[in-house]
Structures are given as structure tokens and as C-alpha cells.
């Protein structure tokens, strides 16, 4: 990811602070969308794909904790950096429980904000509660898989494969990444991953018209709705 391609959503009701932050981010070649209340921020985060969300804690219409909780429940995995004047441990714990990925206490240095943004933008959040691709939905809390309103029961290994692919989507996951996820301590024989992938495909793809799991030659596997050209 090039630094100039970063897109950030700023949800902040203090218009002076928001203007200062937006101006500084623009100088750093970061594209900024802005919302002045929690409901608007939630709507923008659901409608668009951002690299990072800067989320104030105290917001009109919907507070930052509620925004974060609802985004995670709806499957949005954009990293969230919570901006707040509260620095008590209980407040930080509440923020992390709501699904935030990092915490920055006001007032903060703009240089530190930029560093935090670039660090968060390198990954997707691990705080998300639900993942979806096309008509496939994975609930990470209840560990349920549903496709086209049909419940799919996976083995523990099948779940690990699907979760790894879903978290990375639409990026390709290498064979080694899947093997490391399945067998972190000791790798079994060379055909084990092939067997597990076969069973996952039988459950996720075979009963349905549109295949979602694709093999990318010499790269690995990807789960996405788009057709893969040979």
C-alpha cells in the first residue's frame, strides 16, 4: 500500500479540531472523509471502505463506543483509532471491548497521529464480529457459518481455513499461511492441506451455483465473489 493511497474516516464533533486534523492529514497525502455525529460516521463506515477510522468517544446521536460495537457486529473490519479526552484505564478497557484497535488521548501530537494511522492501515481489524462474502456469512462469536440461509457445519480444521480466508478476503492467502494457521507446531504430510481444502469446498461451494473459493496458481487461495480468470 502506498502512503498516498490512504483513506481515513474522521468522526469528530469538534469542528475546529476536525478541521485541524483534516488539514494535517491532507498535507500528508491522506484522503479524509468527515462526519460530525456518530450516526453519520456509522453510515459512512458501512457505505465505504477506509484504511482507518478516527473515532471520537463523545459524539452526538450515537457515542463512539456504540458506533464501534455496531460496526464490528455488522462485519466492518476497518481498524479504529479512538480519540478521547478520557485516559482512565476503565475507559480504555471499555474502548477495546467495544472493538477499537488503538487509543489516542487528547490533546495529541499530529506526528503521533500520523504514525498510528500508518501502523493501523497495514492490517485489518481483528475485532470484527461477522465476516461476509456474497451470500456467505461467518459469525465469529457464535462460530456459525450460513450460506444462502443454509447453516453449514464445519470441522475445527474447516473453520480455521474458512476464517483465515474470510479475514484476508479479497487478498490471496498462501499455502504456507494456511498451513501455519492449521498446524502452528508441526506440519503433517504434504497432502493434508489439499484434503482439508477439498472438504471445505464440498461444503461451502458444491451445493451452490457460484463458487467462492478459488485456487490461484503458484500463489495460494482466495475467497471472493468475482470470477477468477485462468
pLDDT tens, 176-195? Answer: 989 988 888 777 777 889 99
More confident residue, 1 or 122: 122
pLDDT exceeds cutoff 80 at 29: yes
Answer for the pair 80, 68: CB distance below 8 angstroms, yes or no: yes
- Please tell me whether the overall predicted TM-score, pTM, comes out greater than 0.85 for this model: no
Say what the pLDDT of residue 127 is.
Answer: 61
Measuring CA to CA, which residue among 215, 225, 203 is closest to residue 159? Answer: 203
Nearest to 227 by CA among 216, 214, 217, 209: 214
Helix (H) or strand (E) holding 201: helix 192-204
Look up cell 490512504; give the residue.
Answer: 6
Q: What are phi and psi of 136, to 5 degrees?
A: -100, 125
Distance CA(40)–CA(191), nearest Å, equals: 50
Which of 76-80, 218-222, 224-228 shows the lowest per-residue confidence on average (mean pLDDT)? 224-228
The DSSP call for residue 140 is: T
| Calpha distance 137→119 (Å, rounded) | 28
pLDDT of residue 201: 95
Buried b (16+ CB within 10 A) or exposed e, 176-190: eebbebbeeeeeeee
Contacts (Cβ under 8 Å, ≥6 apart) of 9:
32, 33, 34, 35, 41, 44, 45, 48, 50, 52, 53, 54, 78
Instruction: Indicate the pLDDT class of residue 1, thresholds 50, 70 and 90.
Output: very low
Find the range with the poorest average confidence among 30-39, 41-50, 57-66, 181-190. Answer: 181-190
CB 99 within 8 A of CB 88: no
Domains of the chain from N-terminus onward: 3-121 (3.40.50.2300), 130-223 (1.10.10.10)
- Among 37-41, 76-80, 198-202, 203-207, where is mean pLDDT lowest? 76-80
Query: Cell 504434504, residue?
Result: 190
Read off the pLDDT of residues 189-222 as tens digits, 9 standing for 90 and up.
778 899 999 999 999 999 999 999 999 998 999 9
Average pLDDT over residues 106-116: 92
Amino acid at each position: 500500500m502506498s502512503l498516498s493511497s490512504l483513506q481515513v474516516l474522521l468522526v469528530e464533533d469538534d469542528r475546529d479540531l476536525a478541521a485541524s486534523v483534516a488539514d494535517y492529514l491532507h498535507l500528508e497525502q491522506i484522503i479524509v472523509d468527515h462526519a460530525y455525529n456518530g450516526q453519520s460516521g456509522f453510515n459512512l463506515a458501512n457505505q465505504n471502505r477506509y484504511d482507518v477510522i478516527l473515532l471520537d468517544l463523545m459524539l452526538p446521536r450515537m457515542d463512539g463506543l456504540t458506533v464501534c460495537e455496531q460496526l464490528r457486529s455488522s462485519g466492518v473490519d476497518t481498524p479504529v483509532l479512538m480519540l478521547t479526552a478520557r485516559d482512565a484505564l476503565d475507559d480504555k478497557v471499555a474502548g477495546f471491548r467495544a472493538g477499537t484497535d488503538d487509543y489516542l488521548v487528547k490533546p495529541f501530537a499530529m506526528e503521533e497521529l500520523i504514525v498510528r494511522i500508518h501502523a493501523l492501515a497495514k492490517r485489518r481489524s481483528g475485532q470484527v464480529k461477522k465476516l461476509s462474502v456474497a451470500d456467505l456469512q461467518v459469525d465469529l462469536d457464535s462460530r456459525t457459518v450460513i450460506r444462502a440461509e443454509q447453516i453449514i457445519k464445519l470441522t475445527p480444521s474447516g473453520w480455521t481455513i474458512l476464517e483465515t480466508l474470510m479475514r484476508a478476503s479479497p487478498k490471496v492467502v498462501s499455502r504456507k499461511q494456511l498451513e501455519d494457521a492449521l498446524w502452528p507446531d508441526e506440519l503433517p504430510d504434504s497432502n493434508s492441506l489439499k484434503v482439508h481444502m477439498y472438504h471445505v469446498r464440498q461444503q461451502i461451494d458444491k451445493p451452490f451455483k457460484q463458487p467462492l473459493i478459488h485456487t490461484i496458481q503458484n500463489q495460494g487461495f482466495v475467497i471472493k465473489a468475482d470470477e477468477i480468470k485462468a
